Amino acid sequence: MRVERSDRVAWRSVDGETIVIHLGRRRLFGLDHLGGLVWQALETAKSLEELGTLVSGAHHERGDHAPSTIDIFAFVSDLLAEDLILCTEATPVSTVAPSSRGPKIEWREEIQQFAGQCHLVYGQSHQCNQHPGGS
């Protein structure tokens, strides 16, 4: 099974956390450190074996316990379920629980709509250069 990032996502690493935005579904995802390593490795399509090797190598350099293939597979299954990555072959579903030290999506959040009313924003223009309530 080969997987790659969906073209409907944007992402950024901030202070060791990788944040992925699904542009079509308007959802944010926060990946832990290992999840970020897997995400970065998905710059080009990779097999699960390639992902496991890359993440294990990075973990070995840090002296940490490397995640198992089951952990990588479970994480990839989560990414597929959230439509963050694409699979080039039939997608088996993970039925084995990952360990606690595998990569994971730490949080999920809906993107909230921002206020678009000019009169609520102080200092935007002559019309908006008033406090809400008109004073």
132 domain residue, yes or no? no
Task: Per residue of the chain (135 residues), give pLDDT as tens.
Answer: 789 999 999 999 988 889 999 998 889 999 998 899 899 889 887 888 888 888 777 665 555 666 777 888 889 999 999 999 998 766 555 555 556 677 888 889 988 765 554 444 444 444 444 444 444
| H and E: helices and strands count for the chain | 3, 7
133 domain residue, yes or no? no
Domain span at 48: 2-120
User: What CATH number is given to the structural domain containing 44?
Assistant: 3.90.930
24 domain residue, yes or no? yes
The contacts of residue 21 (CB under 8 Å, 6+ apart) are 9, 10, 11, 27, 28, 29, 111
pLDDT of residue 29: 96
pLDDT of residue 94: 52
Task: Calculate Rg over the CA atoms of the chain.
Answer: 20
Q: What sign for the dihedral angle of Cα 103, 106, 111, 115?
A: negative
86 domain residue, yes or no? yes
127 domain residue, yes or no? no
Q: What is the DSSP letter of 66?
A: P
**CA pair distance 131, 11, nearest whole angstrom:** 36
pLDDT of residue 121: 44
Angle at 81 between CA 89 and CA 88, to 5 degrees: 15
Q: What's phi and psi for 123, nearest 5 deg?
A: 85, 10
**CA pair distance 26, 81, nearest whole angstrom:** 15
pLDDT of residue 125: 45
